[in-house]
Structure formats: C-alpha cells, structure tokens
Amino acid sequence: MVKLANALTTLGLQALVAYALPEACSGVCNNSHDPSIIRRNDGTYFRFSTGGKIAIHTAPSLTGPWAYQGAALPSGSSINLAGNQDLWAPDISLVGDQYYLYYSVSTFGVQDSAIGVARSSSLDAGTWTDLGSTGVVSSAGAAYNAIDGNLINEPGTSNYFLTFGSFWNGIHRVRVTPTQTHGSVYQVAFDPSDTAMEGPTVFKNGDYYYLFFSKGSCCGYDANRPAAGKEYRIMVCRSSAATGPFADKNGKSCQSGGGTLVLGSHDWVYGPGGQGVYQDPTNGPVLYYHYVDTRIGYADGQKKFGWNKIDFSSGWPVV
C-alpha cells in the first residue's frame, strides 16, 4: 500500500493517496495558524500560534479540550520593524530549564523581517520576557527572508541551529547560542522552479535529520484560491548530518527542487501546512499543522489544528 501510494505520488496523483484524517480536536481548534506544540512536565500541552501577539492555548491532551490562555507577548515585540504588533510563526523549545519562543516580525510579502526570541521558565501566559532580535534579520535585496525560525539541538552536543525562511531563495540555516546568531547563514533547501517554500521544521529520528517545510500558497483562500495542487502542502527532505546536505526520497538535492510530499489536500482537508513535528511522550512522533476544513470555510480565521502520528518505519515519514 505504501509502495502504491508512493507510485501514485510520483505520478502526481496525490488525490488518490490515502492519508489519515486529522485526529479528533475539541475546545478551541481554530486560532491555530502555524502551531507550535510542547508538553510541560505536569502533562499540560501548550499550543502557540500566529496572531493575537502569539496566542497560547492549553489542553490536557493533544486532542483537547484546548482553551485560550492569553498572549505570549501582549505588548508586541521590542524589535523596531513594521509588524512588531503582529507576530508570526511561533516555535517553542526547552533548552536547559528555560523555554524559548521564537517568533517573526514582518509584513506580508515584504523582506524587512527579523526573528525574535522570548523566554519563560513555565510557558504560562504572563511569564514571557521578550529578548528581542536573535540577529537573524533581512531587508530588501537580502538572500533570504528572516521569518519562520525553528530551533534544533544536535543531540549530545551544545550545537543549536535555527532553520528559517523564507519565500526568498528557500530555506536557510544558522548556528545560534540559542538567543543570538553565532556563524554565517547558509541555504539548505530551494526550488528554482517554485520558490514558494517556508516554515521549516527539523526533527531527528533514528539516523536522520528530517527537514519538513510548507510549500505553496498559505493564506487568504477565501479571497483567492490558487490552482489545484499549488495550495499549502507539507514536504520533507532528510540528511544524516545536522548541517545537511538534505535530499528527498529519490535522492534529489533539496537545494535544487527536491522534496517528498508528506501531506497534501485530501478528503475535507485543504492546504495543510505551518507544520511542526513533536516527539510526544504519549503518542510518539506526531506531525501537527493547520488546515482548512472545507466543510466549515476557507478563511484564515477558520483554519483548524490537526495532527497525526508519524510512521517512520520506511525511513520516511508517513501519516
């Protein structure tokens, strides 16, 4: 069945591939654009999302019930750029005994952007201290757009990488401390024939680092729906080294258009993306994302939180 699905994917017949439906969700399942998830030691799941100065929701399990708790940064960001009251694309990590929340300051379609970071020891609303810019910044003409940061630690080392970007020249990478850059930026994924790729997530499983990213048109589907197949979808590449190079299932370099489809539109799910991957203590590795439920509506505010367990048994993620 997996082989058949792969063959169909290769033929571009994605609609025929059977994806699992999103797992159940109760409580507030919208207000979840670009979700980032972490489970605290007491068993409470925290979900951070774009909008509302980084909205925080909590739940006793991934299925909910999700309840709104407040904004992570109610005063916006101290970064002096347009967009500092409209923060995007949160990414949550635990480093030592502190939680770090990366966020983007930008405006839609503009390259004047920065990735900022805030810190808390508890994750709760009202406990976040904004530390401002990480030093990952861009302006018009830069080789990338400084948005959509994702932190990963190379296990067993003190090496931290922020993978980010971009919609401009693909996905990039820089070493961080983790609050400041510490090295130079390099590209890890790019498709010269379709540069609409962003929102990377790096996840280590077994021998490989998996680079997930969202490809296609993310937003505003109620006003302007892209051609079929050009809407958001979740792709993956992998590498045996934290620093890359990354290639897809066919061995094609992800710096020259490679990328294997993990989850596209199916059934009543449309435009899944803004994904994250989490090693959940209860469910094992999970892929989570936002998506349009076509039975509800295509507006950004109507997008819902979805997640699925990942089967890595083939060496590639299957949901």
Ligand X SMILES: *[C@@H]1O[C@H](CO)[C@@H](O)[C@H](O)[C@H]1NC(C)=O
Residues that bind ligand X (CB under 6 A): 28, 30, 301-302
Q: For residue 131, give the nearest of 164, 173, 168, 176 by alpha carbon.
A: 176
- How many residues are listed for the chain in this entry? 319
Find out whether the peptide bond into 166 is cis, omega within 30 degrees of 0: yes
d(CA 301, CA 217): 16
Catalytic residue (choose from 34, 231, 248, 280): 34
**Which tokens in the block code for residue 87?**
């923060």
Minimum Å distance from CB 46 to ligand X? 18
* In the chain, beta strands by DSSP E: 36-39, 45-49, 55-59, 67-71, 88-95, 98-105, 113-120, 129-138, 150-153, 160-164, 171-176, 186-189, 197-205, 208-215, 233-239, 260-263, 269-280, 284-293, 304-309
Minimum Å distance from CB 305 to ligand X? 11
Q: Which residues contact 244 (CB under 8 A, 6 or more apart)?
A: 173, 188, 209, 211
Closer residue to ligand X in complex, CB, 28/219: 28
Closer residue to ligand X in complex, CB, 169/302: 302
Minimum Å distance from CB 277 to ligand X? 25
Closer residue to ligand X in complex, CB, 43/301: 301
What is the phi-psi region of residue 244: left when phi exceeds 0, alpha when psi lies from -120 to 50, beta otherwise? Answer: left
Catalytic residue (choose from 91, 130, 191, 198): 198
Closer residue to ligand X in complex, CB, 64/149: 64
Minimum Å distance from CB 77 to ligand X? 24
Amino acid identity, residue 98? Q
Closer residue to ligand X in complex, CB, 30/275: 30
Tokens 């931290």 sit on residue: 160
Q: Which residues contact 260 (CB under 8 A, 6 or more apart)?
A: 9, 235, 236, 237, 248, 249, 250, 316
Closer residue to ligand X in complex, CB, 53/249: 53
Name the residue number minimizing CB distance to ligand X.
301
For this structure, is 198 an active site residue?
yes
Minimum Å distance from CB 225 to ligand X? 18
Cα 168 to the center of its chain, rounded Å: 17
- Show which residues are catalytic: 34, 198
